[in-house]
Chains A and B, each alone.
Chain A
Amino acid sequence: GQSLEQPSEVTAVEGAIVQINCTYQTSGFYGLSWYQQHDGGAPTFLSYNALDGLEETGRFSSFLSRSDSYGYLLLQELQMKDSASYFCADANRDDKIIFGKGTRLHILP
């Protein structure tokens, strides 16, 4: 089976750094993705990690450790527009993507 665990809510201050963790239990795991979703909108793709290590894209970075079945999304220089829900999702040999329940990020001015 598959399951992904992530915190339901995280709060941080504008300009700061925040890390959103995701642990997974998946057979035939291929990689971990991250998506952002603003209220009322559709999810949008942020990153995909197939290999261990850190991938950086501007202010956002994503990390994967296959040995620990763990990954995280790191957001730097937080802006108010980063207030959103963030989902981790895994890809696996069954050719389907399963999403975690999402982490709602609150940013304080």
Chain B
Amino acid sequence: NAGVTQTPKFQVLKTGQSMTLQCAQDMNHNSMYWYRQDPGMGLRLIYYSASEGTTDKGEVPNGYNVSRLNKREFSLRLESAAPSQTSVYFCASETFNYEQYFGPGTRLTVT
């Protein structure tokens, strides 16, 4: 039982490049989330998915797209990376009573 896994753990991109962050959970949870964390800003919600086949915008969706591929997997795509997207990205899945399990995070630097 791996919980929530994220790949890659670290990534450096040049401005304008694209990439996809992968997330998978093996706990059979319906809800999954993508957050970014910047110093002093806490966790800000980018997108979430309440169930397979549905996605909704969070607080800071601009510059990102998501895909809920199946119940296990929820990916985050940066189509054209910008330095403002330098951050730590966390994926989480959630139980029916709002307990969230987080992946280890992806540390992304855009130069």
Contact (A48, B45) CB under 8 Å given A95-B31, A97-B33: no
Secondary structure call for the B interface: strand
Tally of contact residues, A, Cβ under 8 A:
24
From 52 to 111 in chain B, residues with beta carbon under 8 angstroms from any chain A beta carbon are: 56, 58-59, 90, 92, 94, 97-105
What residue in chain B is nearest A104 (Cβ atoms)? Answer: B40
For residue A91, CB closer than 8 A to chain B, the reply is yes
Interface centre among B43, B50, B94 (most CB of A within 10 A): B43
Minimum Cβ distance to chain B for residue A54 (Å): 18
* A-B CB contacts (within 8 Å), total count: 60
What residue in chain B is nearest A4 (Cβ atoms)? Answer: B42
| CB-based contact B33/A96 at 8 Å | yes
Contact (A99, B42) CB under 8 Å given A42-B90, A43-B102: yes
CA distance A96 to B49 in the complex (A): 9
B100 proximity list for chain A (CB < 8 A): 33, 35, 43, 45, 89, 97
A71 proximity list for chain B (CB < 8 A): none
Minimum Cβ distance to chain B for residue A73 (Å): 15
A50 proximity list for chain B (CB < 8 A): 97
A-to-B contact residues, CB < 8 Å = 8, 30-31, 33, 35, 41-45, 48, 50, 87, 89, 91, 94-102
B-to-A contact residues, CB < 8 Å = 31, 33, 35, 40-45, 48, 50, 56, 58-59, 90, 92, 94, 97-105
